[in-house]
Homo-oligomer: A and B are copies of this chain.
Amino acid sequence: MDALTRFTPEQVAAAKRYSEAIPPTDIDPRIERLVADLIGRVADKWTMLVLELLTDAGTLRFTRIAERIEGISQKMLTQTLRQMERDGLIERKIYPVVPPKVEYNLTPLGLTLGGAFCGLWVWAAENLGEVERARAAFDKKA
């Protein structure tokens, strides 16, 4: 699985330990709702990709990010970056020059979020095939 070369052996091992553990119960429904909402926004498609790109690249300008995230419109990129900045995930440095220059990089908080996503990436990479098989079987029956 090529995608796994993305992670260190330690991360993959940790992800497996995760997958084998059984999440216990007991959680305040209100907290749960807040957390679910937070995950919901933060697990957005473009946010994920920006997070990953900046994790790799460090600091990038607006246009560089747009170039390297295929399919994103400038509107969505602006919107995603603003949201991430508001949530404290990225830092935005504006250089008062002309033409304008703006640089983006992850905050420490943003970096930790990238780490938290690792388990999901590992799961998806490992189980992509099984999901596709399940889908094919389901569609054949219908």
B-contacting residues of A (Cβ < 8 Å)? 2-3, 5-8, 10-11, 14-15, 17-29, 31-36, 38-40, 42-43, 45, 48-49, 52, 55-56, 70, 85-88, 109, 111-125, 127-128, 130-131, 133-135, 138-139
Contacts and interface: CB of A to CB of B under 8 A. Distances in A.
Contact of A116 (B6, B40, B119): B119
B116 A19 contact: yes
Q: Specify which of A11, A22, A27 lies most central, judged by the most chain B CB atoms within 10 Å of its CB.
A: A27
Nearest to A114: B23
A112 B18 CA distance: 8
Nearest to A2: B28
User: Which are the 3 A-B pairs with shortest beta-carbon distances?
Assistant: A88-B134, A116-B123, A43-B43
Contact of A123 (B2, B17, B23, B112): B112
